[in-house]
Amino acid sequence: MCVRVTNMKGVDLNTFVFDWDLTFAVLLMNADGTVYHRYGGRDHESADGRLSMEALTRLVREGLETDREYRKAPKAREGVQKQAIEEIPVFAERLKKNPNVECFHCHMATEARREQAQKDGRWTPDDRWLWPLPDKAGLRLDPQEPTRVTEVAKDSPAAKAGLQKDDRLVSVNGTRVRTEPDVQWFLHDTPPAGGSLEVAFIRGTGKRTVTLALASGWKAATPLEYSWRPAMWLLRPDPGFGGDDLDAAEKQKLGLRADAFAVRVNYLIDWGDRAETGRNARKAGVRKGDILLSAGGVSDFHDHKHFQTWFRFTREPGKDVELKLWRDGKEILVSLPVLP
Amino acid sequence: MKRALAALLLGALGAGAEEPDFLWRADLDAAREEARTAGKPLLVVFRCER
């Protein structure tokens, strides 16, 4: 039975659990709410580099085997309470003010839950780490055949556990895995402070099980790795301004390399609870139309999202950040105080 | 996406396999109930245009 969902309105967030920052995700599941397998996933390099029709085909075919196995001994899901996005208090409050919002995007679920947790005092900066890729444990999986290990990073947790190239993952903590997001599910559930996962795999003709030990801090992503996530925009500190990357022709006019970082400032925040950050940027000397060339001495940002994430991850409130801007045919320097 | 997945699923399952219903539903709750009654698994695709 196939369902295509393009609006998260009414969708139970405690049942349909996946990386809501994604624009494409697949769940293969039982009608009782038990998710057999997940598919989808991306990284900062591209939206679809980790996807393949071959892998999805394989999942659909092999996933039916999981369904047959599950039906032999279904497990009741107890104590799972339904919560749709519109039932999260901070989101419900926003809907009251703006009831005309028709489409609830997937990423809004991540944001609403985070906002609610922040409001309730339950959120810590470590909670920002979402759905870590197996790369965080030192594992690269084959996009075509996602249970096959294609690379094990030297000295990584996976290497220390003894995993090797061409091993084929079978299960994590006793649950069958068939896709990269299946593995991510267990990583997502492992705290940033560390933990361990029992990983079963096939090498040659033999099945083995090892313990994958994840040390404190394992979950942290770099600004670049995190930069594609819509969830990034909610983090603070916020520079208070932003804009779009210049295209190659625009950079050429300025005498910049085609791969140079250059962002045209097209807004200073003057709305909502961040208006102060926009006023702060204006007071410091940032103007709409300026071209941002570097920040804090860093000019090798991949794009404006990378800059925005870097600012949020690495800048300390109370300190200044030097911005290099291009305005009226010359470079100027602006010292921007970082607000909390 | 819809056509690609339908074609993909047909190709993936092959003759004689347990074929899911290729009529794509938009009502998640109704499809879930139907799958429960029919004893079939659900394939849910979330596609967000933004």
**Cβ neighbours of A198 (radius 10 Å):** 15
Chain A positions touching B6 (Cβ under 8 A) are 2
Residues A283-325: tens digit of each pLDDT:
999 999 999 999 999 999 999 999 999 999 999 999 999 999 9
DSSP A73-140: S-----S-----GGGSHHHHHHHHH-TT-----HHHHHHHHHHHHHHTT---GGGG--S--GGGGTEE
- The shortest C-alpha distance from B15 to chain A (Å) reads 12
What is the rounded distance in angstroms from the CA atom of residue A246 to the CA atom of residue A264? 7
DSSP three-state, residue A268: strand
Q: With an 8 Å Cβ cutoff, is A76 touching chain B? A: no
Q: Which of B23, B39, B49 sits opposite A6 (nearest CB)?
A: B49
Q: With an 8 Å Cβ cutoff, is B16 touching chain A? A: no
Percent share of chain A, pLDDT over 70:
100
- Please state the φ and ψ torsions of residue A110, each to the nearest 5 degrees: -60, -45
Angle among Cα A86, A184, A169 to the nearest 5 degrees reads: 145
What stretch of H or E contains A184? Answer: helix A180-188
- Please state the φ and ψ torsions of residue A85, each to the nearest 5 degrees: -60, -35
Q: Do B44 and A27 touch (CB under 8 A)?
A: yes
Q: For A274-295, b where at least 16 C-beta lie within 10 A, e where not — what string?
A: beebbebbbebebeeebbbbbb
**What is the predicted pLDDT for the residue at B6?**
56
- The shortest C-alpha distance from B42 to chain A (Å) reads 5
Give Cβ neighbours of residue A98 (< 8 Å, ≥ 6 apart): none
**What is the predicted pLDDT for the residue at B10?**
53
DSSP three-state, residue A6: coil
**What is the predicted pLDDT for the residue at B19?**
47
**What is the predicted pLDDT for the residue at B4?**
57
Q: Do A107 and B48 touch (CB under 8 A)?
A: yes
Residues B21-40: tens digit of each pLDDT:
556 778 999 999 999 999 99
Closest Cα partner for A220 from A311, A137, A97?
A137
What is the rounded distance in angstroms from the CA atom of residue A191 to the CA atom of residue A195? 7
Q: Do B43 and A2 touch (CB under 8 A)?
A: yes
Chain A positions touching B28 (Cβ under 8 A) are 3, 5, 10-11, 16
Residues A327-337: tens digit of each pLDDT:
998 999 999 99
**In sequence order, what are the beta bridge partners of A29?**
A35, B42
Residues A232-288: tens digit of each pLDDT:
999 999 999 999 999 999 999 988 889 999 999 999 999 988 999 999 999 999 999
Chain B positions touching A26 (Cβ under 8 A) are 43-46
Q: With an 8 Å Cβ cutoff, is A233 touching chain B? A: no
Give the tokens for residue A21.
């920052």
Residues A85-140: tens digit of each pLDDT:
999 999 999 999 888 888 899 999 999 999 999 999 999 999 999 999 999 999 99
What is the rounded distance in angstroms from the CA atom of residue B4 to the CA atom of residue A337? 50
Give the tokens for residue A176.
């069958």
Confidence of residue B3 (pLDDT cuts 50, 70, 90): low
The predicted complex's ipTM stands at 0.90
Region A59-66: mean pLDDT is 91
pLDDT at B16 over 80: no
Q: With an 8 Å Cβ cutoff, is B15 touching chain A? A: no
Round the average pLDDT of chain A to a whole number and report it: 95
Q: Do A61 and B12 touch (CB under 8 A)?
A: yes
What is the rounded distance in angstroms from the CA atom of residue A137 to the CA atom of residue A148? 15
Closest Cα partner for A143 from A215, A71, A218, A50?
A50
pLDDT at A170 over 80: yes
Residues A12-26: tens digit of each pLDDT:
999 999 999 998 899
